[in-house]
Amino acid sequence: MDTWTPDLIRASKGKQFLPALTTYDYPMTRMLDELGIPMLLVGDSLGMVVLGYPDTTHVTMEDMIHHIRAAARAKPKACLVGDMPYQSYETSEQAVRNARRLVEAGAQAVKLEGGHDIGMQIRAIRNAGIPCVGHLGMLPQHILEEGSYKIKGRRENERRQLLEDAAFLETVGVCALVIELVEPNLSQKITSVTSAPTIGIGSGPHCDGQILVTHDLVGSFPWFRPKFVKPRLQATRQMQDAVRTWRCDEDGLYKQNHHSKPSPAS
């Protein structure tokens, strides 16, 4: 199995499909790495699927460091990417300081949401020698302003801004670009003009790769599932069946053992 670095992720453009999945702990990281997934993202989506928050804006640096450390203990050959959480890159100085903390925890690259609006921050991180993954389209950390998750790029001003942001991220040398909930024709256009591989999520089939929240892929978070995800497994249902079977078996043994015991002397 290849050891995937940020440079190798970038160099994969046009050579192969680039699958990516989220991970939040040691066993999931080890399993996905053994399957040869090139990029594993310790995403701030852990806020919803692990920590029980309503959105990603509640996730802290301490949360991210904790889960990156857990994933890094698997010593993956995949490129391990860590999300910069909400309000952790408000200034260039803060961005570099927090990016370094994620790298010290075990991330090989960090992911930030935005384009020109975070230009100074992402340039500062890159100047510090830290690889970055870009993220355009629907930005989950902006959900409080947006109010809902919406397809981006349907209006001309959005199309123009997304193309300009993609070009900007190209100039700062991101190793990959996540494109979330972008109109498919536009995601195809961005993919065609960007030398870094694009990794789509709900943005059609034309990107260089795709990323999913692993819990969505295997059906282990049944209370919510994005419309664009087709679960390949109903893990929660199987786990529920296993727990019911175990409980029933143990209950039967308990009753058998207790009913077979002689009554105490009166």
Give a yes or no: residue 257 inside a domain. no
Rounded distance, CA 216 to CA 158, Å? 28
Rounded distance, CA 122 to CA 254, Å? 61
Give a yes or no: residue 230 inside a domain. yes
Give a yes or no: residue 31 inside a domain. yes
The residues near 113 (Cβ < 8 Å, ≥ 6 apart) are: 84, 135, 139, 140, 141, 142
Give a yes or no: residue 224 inside a domain. yes
* Structure confidence at residue 266 (pLDDT): 47
The answer to whether the beta carbons of residues 109 and 130 sit under 8 Å apart is yes
The answer to whether the beta carbons of residues 210 and 187 sit under 8 Å apart is no
Residue with tokens 């952790």: 88
CA distances from 251 to 244, 255, 259 (A): 10, 6, 12
* Structure confidence at residue 264 (pLDDT): 61
First to last CA, the chain: 70
Give a yes or no: residue 229 inside a domain. yes
Give a yes or no: residue 1 inside a domain. no
Rounded distance, CA 12 to CA 183, Å? 24
Q: Is 180 a catalytic residue?
A: yes
User: How many C-alpha atoms does 110 have within 13 Å on its Cβ side?
Assistant: 30
pLDDT per residue as tens, the chain (266 positions): 579 999 999 999 999 999 999 999 999 999 999 999 999 999 999 999 999 999 999 999 999 999 999 999 999 999 999 999 999 999 999 999 999 999 999 999 999 999 999 999 999 999 999 999 999 999 999 988 887 888 999 999 999 999 999 999 999 999 999 999 999 999 999 999 999 999 999 999 999 999 999 999 998 888 777 778 787 888 889 999 999 999 999 988 888 888 766 666 54
Give a yes or no: residue 38 inside a domain. yes
* Structure confidence at residue 1 (pLDDT): 55
Rounded distance, CA 179 to CA 189, Å? 12
10 Å CB burial of residue 62 (0-12, 13-18, 19+) is exposed
CATH code of 126's domain? 3.20.20.60
Would you tell me how many other CB atoms lie within 10 Å of the CB of residue 86?
22
* Catalytic residue from among 113, 180, 183, 250: 180
Give a yes or no: residue 260 inside a domain. no
Domain count, the chain: 1
Supply 75's token pair. Answer: 């010593």
- What single-letter amino acid sits at 49? V
Domain extent at residue 127: 6-234
* Per-residue pLDDT tens over the stretch 88-142: 999 999 999 999 999 999 999 999 999 999 999 999 999 999 999 999 999 999 9
Q: Considering the entire predicted model, what is its pTM? A: 0.91
